[in-house]
Chains A and B, each alone.
Chain A
Amino acid sequence: MDVIHPLIQGFGVALQPLNLAFAFIGVLVGTTVGMLPGIGPINAIAILIPITFAAGIRPESALILLAGIYYGSQYGNSISTILLNVPGTASSVVTALDGYEMTKQGRAGPALAMSAIASFFGGTASIFGLVFFAPLLASWAIRFGPAEYFALMVFAFAALSSLAGNQLAKGLIATALGLLLGTVGLDPQSAIPRFTFGQIRLFDGMDFVVVTIGLFAVSEVIGVLEDTQKGQVVAGSVGRVMASMKETVSSLWTMVRSSIIGFLVGVLPGAGGTIASFVAYASEKQVLGSKGFFGKGDIRGVAAPEAANNAAATGAMIPLLTLGVPGSGTTAVMLGALLGMNVTPGPLLIERRPELFWGLVASMYIGNIILLILNLPLVGLFIRVLRLPRWFLMPGVAALSFVAVYAVNASAFDLLLVTGFGLLGWVLRKLDVPLAPIILGVVLGPLMEKNLRRAMALSAGDWTILFSSPIAITLYGLALLSLLAPILAARLRARPSLAEISSAGEVD
Chain B
Amino acid sequence: MREWRSERIAGGICMLAAVAIALVARTFRVGFVTDPIGPRALPWLAAALLGTGGLILVLRPGDEPDWPPAGPTRKAIAITLLSFALYAVLIGPLGFVLATTLLMTVLARVFGGRLLPGLLAGAAFSGVMWLLFVAGLGVPLPIGILFTRGG
- Report the bound CA distance from A267 to B111 in whole Å: 40
Chain B CB within 8 A of A136 CB: no
Q: Evaluate contact between A190 and B38: CB separation under 8 angstroms.
A: yes
Interface string of A370-403 (1 = CB under 8 A from B): 0000000000000000000111101110111011
The stretch from A125-133, A166-174, A240-248, A340-348 touching chain B is A166-174
> Whose C-beta in chain A lies nearest to the C-beta of B126?
A399
A437 to chain B, nearest CB (A): 10
Q: Evaluate contact between A407 and B133: CB separation under 8 angstroms.
A: yes
Which residues A397-415 have CB closer than 8 A to chain B? 398-400, 402-403, 406-407, 410, 412-413, 415
Chain B CB within 8 A of A452 CB: yes
Q: Evaluate contact between B140 and A410: CB separation under 8 angstroms.
A: yes
Q: Evaluate contact between B34 and A190: CB separation under 8 angstroms.
A: yes
The stretch from A94-102, A224-232, A330-338, A489-497 touching chain B is A224-232
Q: Evaluate contact between B53 and A187: CB separation under 8 angstroms.
A: no
- Report the bound CA distance from A218 to B107 in whole Å: 12
Interface string of A305-330 (1 = CB under 8 A from B): 00000000000000000000000000
> Whose C-beta in chain B lies nearest to the C-beta of A413?
B88
- Report the bound CA distance from A452 to B72 in whole Å: 50
Chain B CB within 8 A of A14 CB: no
Chain B CB within 8 A of A282 CB: no
Interface string of B51-85 (1 = CB under 8 A from A): 01110110010100111100011001100110011
Chain B CB within 8 A of A478 CB: no
> Whose C-beta in chain B lies nearest to the C-beta of A441?
B46
With A172-B53, A395-B121 known as contacts, the answer to whether A422 contacts B129 (CB < 8 A) is no
B3 to chain A, nearest CB (A): 18
Q: Evaluate contact between A431 and B7: CB separation under 8 angstroms.
A: yes
With A169-B53, A180-B21, A226-B68 known as contacts, the answer to whether A218 contacts B84 (CB < 8 A) is yes
Chain B CB within 8 A of A298 CB: no
Q: Evaluate contact between B52 and A172: CB separation under 8 angstroms.
A: yes
With A190-B34, A192-B30, A453-B37 known as contacts, the answer to whether A177 contacts B50 (CB < 8 A) is yes
The number of chain B residues touching the other chain, given as a range, is 35 or more
- Report the bound CA distance from A399 to B102 in whole Å: 11
- Report the bound CA distance from A239 to B121 in whole Å: 32
Q: Evaluate contact between A180 and B107: CB separation under 8 angstroms.
A: no
Residue tally, chain A, CB below 8 Å to B:
67
Which residues of the partner chain B approach A400 to less than 8 Å between Cβ atoms?
Answer: 129
With A179-B42, A189-B34, A403-B141 known as contacts, the answer to whether A398 contacts B84 (CB < 8 A) is yes
Chain A CB within 8 A of B135 CB: no
The stretch from A72-80, A104-112, A456-464 touching chain B is A456-464
With A228-B112, A396-B104 known as contacts, the answer to whether A430 contacts B67 (CB < 8 A) is yes
> Whose C-beta in chain B lies nearest to the C-beta of A188?
B39
- Report the bound CA distance from A93 to B11 in whole Å: 30
- Report the bound CA distance from A192 to B35 in whole Å: 14
Given A168-B53, A395-B108, 6 other A-B contacts at CB below 8 A? A51-B133, A173-B57, A226-B73, A229-B72, A449-B42, A457-B35
Chain B residues within 8 Å of A, Cβ to Cβ: 6-7, 10-11, 14, 18, 21, 24-25, 28-30, 34-39, 41-43, 45-47, 49-50, 52-54, 56-57, 60, 62, 65-68, 72-73, 76-77, 80-81, 84-85, 87-89, 91-92, 96, 100, 103-105, 107-113, 117-118, 121-122, 125-126, 129, 133, 137-141
A selection of 12 A-B contacts at a CB cut-off of 8 Å is: A189-B34, A192-B28, A192-B30, A194-B28, A391-B113, A391-B118, A392-B117, A395-B107, A395-B108, A399-B129, A403-B129, A416-B85
